[in-house]
Amino acid sequence: MKHELLQLGLPVALSLGLFTGRISVPPAVLRPTLIVAKFLGLFRLARYITRDGLRIICYHGVAVAEEYKYRSRLFIDKELFRRRIEYLQLKRYPILPLGEAVEALAQDRLPPCATVVTMDDGWEGVYLVALPIIKELGIPVTLYVPTFYIVHPMPVFTVTLSYLFWRTTARRVELPRGLGEFFLDSDAEQAEALAQQVGGTLPAADRLQFLKEMAEALDISFAEIETQRLFRAVDEHQLRQLADAGVDIQLHSHRHQWSADDSRTTVEAEISDNRRFLEQVVSRPLEHFCYPSGIHGPHQGEWLAALGVKSATTIEPGLNYRDTPRFALRRMVDGHPVSDIEFEAEMTGFMEIIRALRERRLPRMLRRRVRADCDDGRSSISGSDDENGTPDAARSS
């Protein structure tokens, strides 16, 4: 065994060295390296070192058909969603409600490897497909809900329009409303950008008609999209049932339009419109927020706090500690491009250690761990292994 580990040492060192660079590591290199790192016990060690970090997982839609083949990060197949939750339960990651976790984080009393599951955008698949799994497995989930497409029930314009261009087999398109002719082999991006720009300026009812015209121009059945309920947000009745089932409904802006340069007036209007609608449906306090598309400015946290918001999540990867800004909480975005070994590397904190190496904050992370050990009456990381991350020096995997 020792000889085998020595043989693996050089390739592991070389592979791990790739992580410290600024260039992203391709999956063909990343995944085998992670497998070796797990075999050598580095995942166990990472879980121990990062055990006081709050893990927040971000999902978006759960596919009602096969739309995960179109956007595999935006829509996740129900079987993969189930498998992820079952993994968390099997490996004893405590899954907490968001509000409870944020409060415990501030008071430094989180259980080891505490985890929060969040879902963005209020896609109808969360109600139709994910809710039965959530109820069966008994997990708390926070759902961040924008409200424009609940007020105006129709397929979400930007996503549906992109889907039309993705699915079409046409070589040429004559865009409706005199927008011009485009050859899609070379000008598809230009055509879509123009259609998105024009459609984004239309009122909701006309936007729906424009989608239908675009579907006809691209030779796609819009009736099929509507029959399959693709790209729909939950309606008010479904949202109420989600809340009644214990899903934590929280803020995500009204229009899902957000910029780091937005004025305070714009930010306040988006939150107020979002909250005003949700208060008609949800009885729990609406005091947590998710930045649309993760976009935010550091000054916006102060504005959100003045509106009674207690936390805001981003899509910046990483774990959250007591000193992490509450209005810039980090999350892991999960989906089909994330392999099982990559998901495990994130959850154990191995990738967090890699990021700490890149950002030269690993010494601070290790000091935090040592201080926590001293507070708990421990001065080393030796001891018996448990699922909360205490490594066993006698075992390597």
Name the CA dihedral angle for 395, 18, 351, 32, rounded to a multiple of 10 degrees: -60
255 and 185 together in one domain: no
145 and 267 together in one domain: yes
Query: Which residues, listed in sequence order, are joined to residue 313 by a DSSP beta bridge?
Result: 290, 329
243 and 217 together in one domain: no
327 and 193 together in one domain: no
With vertex at residue 116, the alpha carbon angle to CA 315 and CA 73, rounded to the nearest 5 degrees, is 40
- The CATH number of whichever domain residue 322 belongs to comes to 3.20.20.370
The verdict on residue 142 lying in a domain is yes
**Domain boundary residue, one of 227, 261, 286:** 227
Q: How many domains does the chain have?
A: 2
Residue 194 structural domain: 154-227
The verdict on residue 369 lying in a domain is no
159 and 117 together in one domain: no
The verdict on residue 9 lying in a domain is no
Q: Would you give the DSSP letter of residue 67? A: G
**Domain boundary residue, one of 227, 245, 279:** 227
115 and 254 together in one domain: yes
Position 379 scores a pLDDT of 42
Among candidate residues 184, 173, 155, the one with its CA nearest the CA of residue 216: 173
The verdict on residue 296 lying in a domain is yes
213 and 277 together in one domain: no
**Domain boundary residue, one of 192, 227, 262:** 227
Gap between the Cα atoms of 126 and 61, Å rounded = 6
Position 20 scores a pLDDT of 57
The verdict on residue 75 lying in a domain is yes
Gap between the Cα atoms of 328 and 4, Å rounded = 43
Cα four-point dihedral sign 267, 269, 274, 276 = positive
Gap between the Cα atoms of 319 and 351, Å rounded = 10
Gap between the Cα atoms of 303 and 272, Å rounded = 12
Q: State both tokens at 117.
A: 């599951």
The verdict on residue 50 lying in a domain is no
102 and 123 together in one domain: yes
188 and 305 together in one domain: no
195 and 81 together in one domain: no
Per-residue pLDDT of the chain (397 residues), as tens digits, is 444 434 444 444 444 555 555 556 777 788 999 999 999 999 999 999 999 999 999 999 999 998 999 999 999 999 999 999 999 999 999 999 999 999 999 999 999 999 999 999 999 999 999 999 999 999 999 999 999 999 999 999 999 999 999 999 999 999 999 999 999 999 999 999 999 999 999 999 899 999 999 999 999 999 999 999 999 999 999 999 999 999 999 999 999 999 999 999 999 999 999 999 999 999 999 999 999 999 999 899 999 999 999 999 999 999 999 999 999 999 999 999 999 999 999 999 999 999 988 888 777 877 777 777 776 664 444 444 455 554 443 333 3
The verdict on residue 108 lying in a domain is yes
Gap between the Cα atoms of 365 and 178, Å rounded = 59
Residue given tokens 């129709």 in the structure block: 154
93 and 106 together in one domain: yes
Q: What pTM, to 2 d.p., does this model score? A: 0.88
79 and 136 together in one domain: yes
